[in-house]
Amino acid sequence: MCGIFCTISRNGFLSPSENATRLLKHRGPDNFHEHQVTVNTKDNQEIFLSLSASVLCLRGTPLVPQPIVDPDSGCALCWNGEVWRLEGEQLPVLDGSDTKLIFKLLCEAASSRESHIQIPKVIERIRGPFAMVFYDGFSKKIYYGRDSLGRRSLLRTVTPSGDLVISSISDKDLSTCWSEDEAEGIQIIEISQLTANSSFPPVELTMPYVVLQSEREQNSEELVDPVARPDPLIQLPYGTLNKDINPPSTSTRLNISSHPLTIFERLLRLSLAPRVSGIRLSGQDVECECPQSEAEPRIAILFSGGLDCTLLARIISDVIFSPTEAIDLLNVAFQNPRIHKGELGYELCPDRITARSSLAELQNICPRRPFRLVCINVPFTESQGHRQEIIDLMHPHNTEMDLSIAYALYFAARGIGETTTDDGKIIPYATPARVLISGLGADELFAGYMRHATAFSRKSWPGLLDEMELDIDRLGKRNLGRDDRVISHWGKEARYPFLDEDVVVWTLQAPFWEKVGFGMTRSIASEIEKNEDEGELDIEDGKLLLRLLAWKLGMKGVAREKKRAVSIHDS
């Protein structure tokens, strides 16, 4: 995780303010640096480019300072991302610095005579979340943007003096009006082509993201002529949602023997493997009373005890190499002084109740794995004391729902609470984990919201698929940038296994009857009905594939868990 701050000005170099520097260093406590470039335009005007970046080093040795600069070409990169895989490469990118790798590929592309084609090809190959600002020293262009799912924050604003600012965080000292990058493509600013009469901030070109077309779409007469499409494009690995509403006559409701379950489990394990491997431990001392027999946790999970996060915890236990490495489960509860005056109120929160129930199931199935429930109890006075900081971090989001979710993520990411030792002693505890795993994306991809069930009850399969399509199309424009700003404030990085590109590709291609149970007839002899006293009958239709996987892995209580209207960590 890193912090990015880029300014383009006619008025001189514009460095981050004291407040912006503080926020950037919170995101990247391991390194901070600024790089300045003066660019001469074609009519000899001077444009002042300032690139600043902070670094949270989670992969590779040694640390790679940012911005990373090539002194020969003048190219420079601010990179906030994780490259889990490059398209065309068989093995995941686990060793070394992905920042250096992407910078090398971008510099090579920029040096090409067809750089306008080669640079988007590099971006097209990236599998993983990112936000970036790349200065092409050959052509004097700025490229900036974030991945199509919007998994990393990137904001922009124009100062009162006309300077353009691109940043991971909003700085109210510079501007009170920031906007989120739309995650619809990569923006290009041709600095060298500016003249004294050019508008400023400069007009931006866009390399748009485009989805893969299915054979049906390619044959459609309604498609726009490809010749009329803008060039260049960045081809995404996934297409549109499969909206087929005609299941084969032999199709029945999914069960634990269904082939789609095997495929999905394999994809989810492949998604988790790089996200929980090769993580550097923090060099900072963390005050906690961990049992010495347990390896220091590198991974923590945003844990409500719900289906999505508990399923991830169960599989992570299989994927992590060391059987003694602890996994921290971060569970937040807030004091409501109007209802509960004492400490007991925290234990009555719905997420705390489900967390303890799911923890017991995890411990029963994985007895060797130290799962540590971190109870983060937030008094009302403390939550109010951080209110303005949270509001500033989540800007430009500003609704009460934004604030409610941001509160939970903010205190969860801080990771300070208490835990219970094996002998029943409650002790203060602060998680040292700098990687936080989130189940976000499961509800959108697998119809887990209550509104999906409502849409099906009203308009059957077409209504369900229309609702799912709306959720999926909005993923890149919703709340991931907000969540990134809030979580990263504590020098932590959120990772989203359900939003892995390969998981998304398969989920969008699969017809609904391979993912959910709405409207499907149960087979007469499903494995669960034969062997588990018809336990499957208790399993909801929404996210059926995830529920069956939980059941297969031994978590029957989790599989039966009823979806609540709002689950802070999973929704």
Whether the upstream peptide bond of residue 232 has omega within 30° of 0, thus cis, is: yes
Sign of the CA dihedral running 495, 497, 304, 322: negative
Beta strands 435-437 and 299-302, pairing class = parallel
Q: Closest by alpha carbon to 373, among 316, 325, 429?
A: 429
CA 329 to chain centre: 18
Angle at Cα 376 formed by Cα 374 and Cα 382, nearest 5°?
160
d(C-alpha 542, C-alpha 552), whole Å: 17
SS3 content of the chain, % helix, strand, coil (to 5): 35, 20, 45
Quickly tell me which residue has 């739309």 as its tokens: 182
Q: Closest by alpha carbon to 128, among 496, 514, 390, 521?
A: 496
Residue 207 and residue 188 in contact, taking contact as beta carbons nearer than 8 Å:
yes
Active-site residue set: 2
Gyration radius of the chain's alpha carbons: 24
d(C-alpha 77, C-alpha 69), whole Å: 7
d(C-alpha 282, C-alpha 408), whole Å: 23
Neighbours of 331 (CB within 10 A): 29
d(C-alpha 127, C-alpha 85), whole Å: 5
d(C-alpha 276, C-alpha 435), whole Å: 8
DSSP string, 283-344: SS-------TTSBPPSEEEE--SSHHHHHHHHHHHHHSS-TTB-EEEEEEEE--TTT--STH
Beta strands 426-430 and 2-9, pairing class = unpaired
Cβ neighbors of 491 (< 8 A, separation 6 or more) are 1, 26, 27, 28, 29, 56, 434
DSSP string, 427-457: EEEE----EEE--TTHHHHHT-SHHHHHHHH
Strand partners, 322: none
Beta strands 155-158 and 164-167, pairing class = antiparallel
Q: Closest by alpha carbon to 127, among 83, 62, 176, 175?
A: 83
Beta strands 371-378 and 327-334, pairing class = parallel
Quickly tell me which residue has 């499957």 as its tokens: 536
Residue 178 and residue 154 in contact, taking contact as beta carbons nearer than 8 Å:
no
Q: How many alpha carbons lie under 13 Å from residue 122 in its C-beta half-sphere?
A: 23
DSSP string, 475-486: GGGSSHHHHHHH
d(C-alpha 435, C-alpha 39), whole Å: 38
Quickly tell me which residue has 């963390």 as its tokens: 286
